[in-house]
Structure 1
Amino acid sequence: MRLGYSAVTAGIVDPREALELAARHGLDIEISIDVREMFPQLPSAKELREMGRAAGVGFTAHLPFVDLNLASVVEAAWRTSLERMQRALEFSAEAGAQVGVLHTGQVPLRHPVLLEAARERLAKALELLGPPPLPVAVENLALDRHDLLETPAELVELVEGAGEGFGYTLDLPHAFVQGGEAQIRAYLEAMQASSAPILHLHLHDNAGDHDAHLPVGAGRLPYAAFKSALAGFEGTAALEVTGGAEGVAASLEALRAAWDI
């Protein structure tokens, strides 16, 4: 497993500070494309790649989701979202990211007709985005009543239908909020049985009541219980934890104790 951390979740926006922390701990960085859209004065993809190479730090990318909805049934909103995602994939590939994490979208009005239309929109978006310029790892959400996909089976159906270049991000704490340890296992088993690979992990912690993004070990998620199930995982992972440099360091210590890595 190649381990990194989300600089933005840790509260670090300065790329040099983020790279210094990553290099100190032998980590990669998960870059936020949303932040790069908001602050175009940040380094370009080419500059970022060179900075990472100089520091010995690799990248993963969290693809945009702020004001973006690939499942939108509003034509203008859907097309804008698709165009932004295409640019984000190009940026991520140019920056040398190993994988891009993708959110699946929301449907505020839960009418059956709209839900079906949203599923069709989302599937069409992935078809048009593929084959992507870097592997795309679709993330389990189901944290908000507006989230389109609510079950492991729905996520698997989407990703398997997307074709080459698509796989999964397993966010263990998201599943823990949704249904505890049993729901983590449900997602893990469904993904492992799928024809598409688990490409990426998101690691943080919570008390099981909401998506708190606590440092690993500061909540109730039983990481040690998943040591054997993820023992052979060879993809990438990102610590999506708050608490700055201290939160990252504490998470590393707790994760290494739980998984012996």
Structure 2
Amino acid sequence: MSAPRLGFVAQTHTGAVEYDDLVAAGATEGFDFVELYMDGATERRALDPERIETLHERHGLDLAVHLPFVDLDLGSPRPLVREASRRELEACLDAAAEMGAEKAVLHADTDATPPEFGRESVLPHALESIERLDAYADDAGVEVCVENLPGRLFSTYDFDVLTAETDASLTLDTGHARVDGLDEAEMADALREFDDRISHVHVNDSRVPEDEHVPVGSGTIDFERAFRPVRDGDWDGTLSVEVFTFDFDYVATSRRKLEAWL
């Protein structure tokens, strides 16, 4: 297997940093791709797909996207809500394809929760939405990767459900996995067990079992152990540093530490 490509999630949603500057910095640092967060200041209506594609070609970087999620509901028991959410995400996938994106990270979630709605009533709707979006993305030439969300509809423990009921690829978020209670050996086991379905990994550290997204190496996750399957050549997807910071130095440091462990 070939070595995994390394990228980073661009924290552009608040408008505090410019996407062009991040792409240039990523190229200088030696990243292979950028994962564009398509929300807030960089949601699809604010983007010029042709300009984004040209920008990436100029700097020699590939592109992935993180689809919006905060106000969308793919598991709602209300058909019109689900349909509107899917249509918005389809429009985002169209834009992603126009920009030349290879992968699209998806939060397949719902705000329909107990006591009004139980898991059994929303799960089929979310799975149907995933299947429809995956098929739509496939036609557009983009790979949908469903992310594990701790304490939500699809946590790290639901990878078996996602692989059994859908054809979509998966995103493993290391910080989310830790919140779900997985240790480094169990993260490695997940990479081995679902090696043909986990296509993308969000790499972020934490000091405690909370969703901190601190720079890689500044927390307590033993990535050398967690990524043993990567080092052994048993997994060759894409790794994306997802650090909640506007200071690119921390992103660059995360890449260097990650590369050393790999």
Cα pair 1:34 1:63 within 8 Å, conserved: yes
Q: Is the 8 A contact 2:104 2:144 kept in 1?
A: yes
Does the aligned pair in 2 maintain the 1:200–1:236 contact within 8 Å?
Answer: yes
2:119 paired residue among 115, 118, 122: 115
Q: Per-residue CA shift, 1:32-56, capped at 9, x if unaligned?
A: 1123664734x31221111100111
Flag the 1:121–1:44 CA change in 2: closer, same or farther, 3 A: same
In the alignment, is the contact (CA less than 8 A) between 2:192 and 2:229 conserved in 1?
no
Partner residue in 1 for 2:189? 189
Aligned-partner SS, 1:130: helix
In 1, distance between residues paired with 2:185 and 2:84? 35
Counterpart code for 1:65 = F
Letter in 2 for 1:45: P
Q: Normalised by the size of structure 2, how large is the TM-score?
A: 0.86
CA distance in 2, matches of 1:58, 1:190: 26
1:179-218 → structure 2 map (5 Å cutoff):
179-181=181-183, 185-186=185-186, 188-190=188-190, 192-194=192-194, 196-218=196-218
- What's the TM-score once normalised by structure 1's chain length? 0.86
Change (3 A) 1:36 1:117: farther
SS in structure 2 of the partner of residue 247 of structure 1? helix
2:256 counterpart residue number: 253
Superposed displacement of residue 29, structure 1: 0.8
- Kindly indicate whether residue 13 of structure 2 is the aligned counterpart of residue 32 of structure 1: no
- Shifted more, 6-15 versus 231-240: the winner is 6-15
Give the whole-Å Cα distance in 2 for the aligned partners of 1:130 and 1:108: 22
Is the alpha carbon distance of 1:222 and 1:239 closer, same or farther for their aligned partners in structure 2, counting shifts above 3 Å?
Answer: same
Q: Which residue of 1 aligns with 2:170?
A: 168
Shift of 1:117: 1.9
What are structure 2's unaligned runs of at least 5 residues? Answer: none
SS of 1:230's partner is helix
* 2:140 is the alignment partner of 1:140: no
User: Match for 2:10 among 7, 24, 27?
Assistant: 7
Shift of 1:179: 0.7
CA displacement at 1:18 relative to structure 2: 1.1
Q: CA offset at residue 249 of structure 1?
A: 1.6
Q: State the SS of the aligned residue for 2:125.
A: helix
Distance across 2 between alignment mates of 1:151 and 1:56 = 33
* 2:125 aligned partner, one-letter code: R
Deviating beyond 6 angstroms after TM superposition, the runs of 4 or more aligned structure 1 residues are none
Equivalent position of 1:91 in the other structure:
95
Unmatched runs of 5 consecutive residues or more in structure 1: none
- RMSD (CA atoms): 2.4
- CA pair 195-227 structure 1, distance change in 2 beyond 3 A: closer
Range that drifts further, 167-176 or 11-20 = 11-20
CA–CA separation in structure 2 for the residues paired with 1:141 and 1:227: 20
- Deviation, 1:209, is 3.0
Paired residue secondary structure (1:68): coil
1:140 is matched by which residue type in structure 2?
N
Identical residues among aligned pairs (%): 27
1:76-127 deviations in whole A, cap 9, x for unaligned?
Answer: 3211111111111111122111111111203452349631121111111122
Partner residue in 2 for 1:23: 27
Shift of 1:19: 1.2
| Counterpart residue type for residue 201 of structure 1 | V
Correspondences of 1:23-102 after superposition (within 5 Å): 23-27=27-31, 28-35=33-40, 38=43, 40-41=45-46, 43-102=47-106
Shift of 1:258: 2.2
2:239 is aligned to 237
Instruction: Look up the SS of the partner of 2:208 in the other structure.
Output: coil
- Residues 220 and 25 of structure 1: is their aligned pair in 2 closer, same or farther, counting only changes over 3 Å? same
Deviation string 1:144-177 (CA, Å, 9 cap, x unpaired) is 4xx112452x2322233222xx211111111112
Distance 1:111 1:103, change over 3 A: same
